[in-house]
Amino acid sequence: MKKIIRVWDLPIRLFHWLLVVCIVGSFVTINLGDEFIQWHAYFGYSILTLLIFRIGWGFVGSTHARFASFLPTKKAIFDYLSGSPPRVLGHNPIGAISVFTLIFVLCVQVLTGLFVDDEVSFQGPLAKYVSGSISSFLSEIHEGNQVVIYTLIAIHIAAIWYYKKFKGENLIKPMISGDKEIDPSEEAKYLPADLDRDSKDGVLQRGFALILLSVIAVAVGYLITK
């Protein structure tokens, strides 16, 4: 009988899929013309809200959502690359680097977007606080950083395919159900302590996440409308 372990709590799963929707929406609207630029901004503000939530949840969230649980160390990275590490329930060291990198480049994208001013159809809410040259510089970063984001997303998708095809590990299913199924014959490949590290995902946990997200959303809303 397979061992069922709750790895990803509901807040993390919703964050993940809402981020996917917002990134796709942002990509689509920026390529539909100037009449959709405001929708592009709305998706950007939503991504900003989600990123602030994820960073906060990385400190106060459940076990496998916390950054401390998957912070990649030099030893963990080398052990993983050598092919001899124990399996992990959450992010492996390379996956962790991918997560931190993607969060960073997305933060760069949404923060620079706040200062964009194309002098035609859109002005970011913070553009009025900086000079035209600074706004132009940040706009260039905002535009160029798209390539980095799309590259990282392509690598992310390729990694999911690789694990499914060559390692027989479905990384998408746990991000939908929240649970990871461990076959008894595979348990020896994990650290014993890890197999008892279920993530809390009860009503209190979810309620706290909802309050945190609501506070962040209100703060972001105030930022863009003041």
Q: In which band, very low, low, confident or very high, does the pLDDT at 172 lie, cut at 50, 70 and 90?
A: very high
Per the rule left: phi > 0, alpha: psi between -120 and 50, beta: everything else, 31 is alpha
Q: What is the pLDDT of residue 183?
A: 84
Across 192-204, average pLDDT: 87
Q: Taking the mean position of all CA atoms in its chain, how far away is CA 193?
A: 26
Do 155 and 147 contact (CB within 8 A), yes or no? no
Mean pLDDT of 122-147: 94
Q: Alpha-carbon distance 43 to 113, whole Å?
A: 11
Give the domain range for residue 175. Answer: 3-225
Work out the percent of the chain whose per-residue pLDDT is above 70: 100
The number of folded domains in the chain is: 1
Handedness of CA 100, 101, 104, 109 (dihedral sign): negative
Q: Is the pLDDT of residue 226 over 90?
A: no
Q: Measured between alpha carbons, how far is 24 from 172 in angstroms, rounded to an integer? A: 18
Task: Please say if the pLDDT value at position 24 is more than 90.
Answer: yes
Which of 2-11, 51-60, 161-170, 197-206 ranks highest by mean pLDDT?
Answer: 51-60
> What pLDDT shows up at residue 186?
81
Confidence of residue 223 (pLDDT cuts 50, 70, 90): confident
End-to-end CA distance of the chain: 57
Task: Give me the count of residues in the chain.
Answer: 226
Q: How confident is the model at residue 87 (pLDDT cuts 50, 70, 90)?
A: confident
pLDDT at residue 54 above 90?
Answer: yes
**Would you state the pLDDT for residue 195?**
82
CATH number of the domain enclosing 151: 1.20.950.20
Q: Got the DSSP string for 47-113?
A: HHHHHHHHHHHHHHS-GGGSHHHHPPPHHHHHHHHHT-PPB-SS--HHHHHHHHHHHHHHHHHHHHH
Element spanning 179, H or E:
strand 179-182
